[in-house]
Amino acid sequence: MKKLILFGLILGLCAGQSFASFYFSDNFDSENSGNAMLDYDDFTNWGVSEGSVDLIGNGPPSTTFPFDFIPGHGLYVDMDGTINPKNAGTITHTFNLVENGTYQLSFYLAGNHRNNDYEQVDVKVGGPLGDLLINKSYSSTGNGLGQNVGFTLFTETFNLAGEGSYFLSFSGFGGDNIGLLLDDVTLVLVPLPATILLGLLGLGVGGLKLRKSLK
């Protein structure tokens, strides 16, 4: 009976650890009641600084708002807004992490779909001591995000070993009101692989049997 219970616990632990723990996700579709808006700075999960960004998409082009370059993706963010002076913006999400482990950040970037000018987005995750856990640049040349390239998935991982306040930021660069497009930002805690759990639990069961045999 004890063996059956132990086996059930092993299966339960492995099943529970086979999926990443959902932590944060934002596809921007609920912003502004689902309506696009230039120079948008009222995000639910983000603050805007160092310029401006545009909330675009969610519908066919029109004479009043012709900015849904990749139909079918709801709302998304143009990282180079239209406000004067023409400075690309930074959006920042702050959060507290209380569980140590490896986290995976995923997001989609697309080309600007308007011209062949150089575009860039810097992605950063910072810790409570001012350290940068992620500090990477994505550009229309180095990452192949040319003018008409659609949304492309990118992932980054970082390790957390302490509680505190953290930030995640996306910064556009440019001054022509045309930037890379951002959508579907997700952060998850990566679980310990089930195979490793089985091995660790197997060692524990083997140790118990060895102790019994020595008695």
Which three-class secondary structure string do you get for 46-93? CEEECCECEEEECCCCCCCCCCCCCCCCCEEEECCCCCCCCCECEEEE
Q: Of 48-57, 82-91, 104-113, which gets the smallest average pLDDT?
A: 82-91
Q: What's the confidence (pLDDT) of residue 59? A: 67
Q: Are residues 49 and 27 in the same domain?
A: yes
Query: What element of type H or E holds 213?
Result: helix 194-214
pTM over 0.85: no
Residues 8 and 55 in one domain: no
Place of tokens 């009101």: 177
Residue 78 and residue 9 share a domain = no
Provide the domain limits for residue 206: 1-19+192-215
Cα dihedral across residues 192, 195, 196, 202: positive or negative: positive
Q: Kindly compute the dihedral angle of the four CA atoms of residues 130, 135, 139, 145, in this order, to the nearest 10 degrees.
A: -120
Of 214 and 193, the structure prediction assigns the larger pLDDT to 193
Same-domain pairing of 153 and 121? yes
Instruction: List, for residues 66-103, the tens digit of each pLDDT value.
Output: 689 998 999 999 999 987 666 899 999 998 887 889 99
Tens digits of residue pLDDT in 147-175: 999 999 999 999 987 888 999 999 999 77
What residues contact residue 172 under an 8 Å CB cut-off, 6+ apart? 51, 53, 79, 80, 88, 89, 90, 119, 120, 121, 179, 180
Are 15 and 120 in a shared domain? Answer: no
Q: Are residues 150 and 212 in the same domain?
A: no
Q: Which has the closest alpha carbon to 179: 100, 111, 105, 101?
A: 111
Integer Cα distance of 114 and 34 in angstroms: 23
Percent of the chain scoring above 90 in pLDDT: 54
Total domains present in the chain: 2
Whether residue 143 is found in the same domain as residue 198: no
* Pair (56, 12) in one structural domain: no
| 184 and 196 co-located in one domain | no
pLDDT given for residue 97 in this prediction: 81
Task: Clarify whether residues 185 and 119 are in a common domain.
Answer: yes
The domain that holds 103 is classified in CATH as 2.60.120.200
Could you tell me which of 129, 106, 32, 116 has the C-alpha nearest to residue 75? Answer: 32
Do 26 and 11 lie in a common domain? no
Whether residue 54 sits in one domain with residue 9: no
